[in-house]
């Protein structure tokens, strides 16, 4: 497995963007029951505050540095020139990789409208891609019987890769609960579904390089996200400054 370094007690995987892409495709081809988290500031702060959630993230086979601040701190604290591995960027690249390697995918989460839009777009971009199935679960906890039916449905589809969009921390919890039950590589992509479907715009690349995506999300949903970004981001900066003197070498998870 790829090496992980310690960021506020959460292990984040180290490697180039291409290495992440290759590793995910390899696990998917072998149908390894596994899951991948995409760590941004919000996820790291959730893990810092909630040890149970931190254990879920640390149990992931890969934890990709999704947010640009995560890549920046890996460089400043450990001297690692780390590529950003953003879920919104890797989603279409994984679809392309699955098409070329004849791997099938399953879409789990979000709404039926979003899933239908993703399927229509993917079929135009990747006409030889196999979408083994899709499922939009109800906005509540599934009963054990319902959950078992979902597991059976996904496994019966033969999917190599399961894209999960339930939002953090729900999607990470779901993947952890289904590791060793679902015979596929699961990826928690969150907002990537909406972005790929064209239902939510992204900032230009220059703004993303300046780590301004959070300001755009805050503008879109201020009531829901103000605490996450204003409080969470401030705590992230504080912790980064506090831990900087002690990060003289890589600390492995």
For the cut 70, the answer to whether the pLDDT of residue 2 exceeds it is yes
Encode pLDDT of 23-66 as tens digits: 999 999 999 999 999 999 989 999 999 999 999 999 999 999 99
- What is the SS3 assignment for the chain? CCCEEEECCEEEECCCHHHHHHHHHHHHHCCCCEEEEEECHHHHHHHHHCHHHHHHHHCCCEEEECCHHHHHHHHHHHCCCCCCCCHHHHHHHHHHHHHHHCCEEEEEECCHHHHHHHHHHHHHHCCCCEEEEEECCCCCCCCHHHHHHHHHHHHHHCCCEEEEECCCCHHHHHHHHHCCCCCCEEEECCCHHHHHHCCCCCCCHHHHHCCCHHHHHHHHCHHHHHHHHHHHHHHHHHHHHHHHHHCCCCCEC
Which fold, 10-197? Rossmann fold (3.40.50)
Q: Which residue has the higher pLDDT, 215 or 178?
A: 178
Encode pLDDT of 60-113 as tens digits: 999 999 988 899 899 888 899 999 999 999 999 999 999 999 999 999 999 999
Cα 155 to the center of its chain, rounded Å: 21
- Please give the model's pTM, rounded to 2 decimal places: 0.85
Residue-range domain boundaries for the chain: 10-197
Q: Which residue has the higher pLDDT, 239 or 23?
A: 23
Structure tokens at 242: 């506090």
Instruction: Please give the C-alpha separations between residue 141 and each of 145, 166, 172, 173, 220, in angstroms, as whole numbers.
Output: 11, 12, 14, 12, 27
Structure tokens at 74: 């890996």
């Amino acid at each position: 497995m790829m090496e992980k370094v310690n960021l506020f007690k959460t292990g984040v995987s180290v490697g180039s963007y291409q290495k992440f892409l290759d590793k995910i495709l390899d696990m998917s081809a072998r149908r390894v029951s596994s899951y991948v988290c995409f760590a941004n500031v919000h996820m790291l702060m959730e893990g810092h505050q909630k040890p149970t959630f931190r254990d879920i993230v640390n149990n992931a086979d890969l934890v990709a540095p999704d947010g640009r601040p995560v890549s920046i701190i890996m460089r400043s604290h450990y001297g690692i020139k780390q590529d950003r591995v953003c879920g919104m960027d890797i989603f279409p690249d994984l679809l392309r990789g699955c098409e070329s390697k004849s791997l099938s995918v399953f879409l789990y989460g979000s709404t039926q409208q979003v899933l239908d839009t993703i399927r229509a777009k993917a079929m135009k971009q990747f006409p030889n891609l196999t979408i083994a199935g899709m499922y939009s679960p109800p906005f509540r906890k599934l009963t054990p019987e319902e959950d078992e039916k979902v597991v059976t449905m996904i496994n019966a589809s033969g999917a190599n890769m399961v894209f999960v969009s339930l939002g953090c921390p729900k999607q990470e919890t779901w993947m952890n609960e289904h590791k060793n039950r679902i015979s596929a590589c699961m990826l928690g992509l969150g907002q990537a579904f909406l972005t790929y479907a064209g239902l939510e715009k992204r900032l230009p690349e220059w703004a993303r390089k300046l780590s301004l995506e959070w300001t755009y999300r805050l503008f879109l949903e201020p009531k829901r996200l103000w605490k996450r970004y204003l409080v969470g981001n401030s705590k992230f900066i504080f912790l980064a400054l506090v831990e900087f003197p002690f990060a003289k070498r890589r600390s492995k998870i």
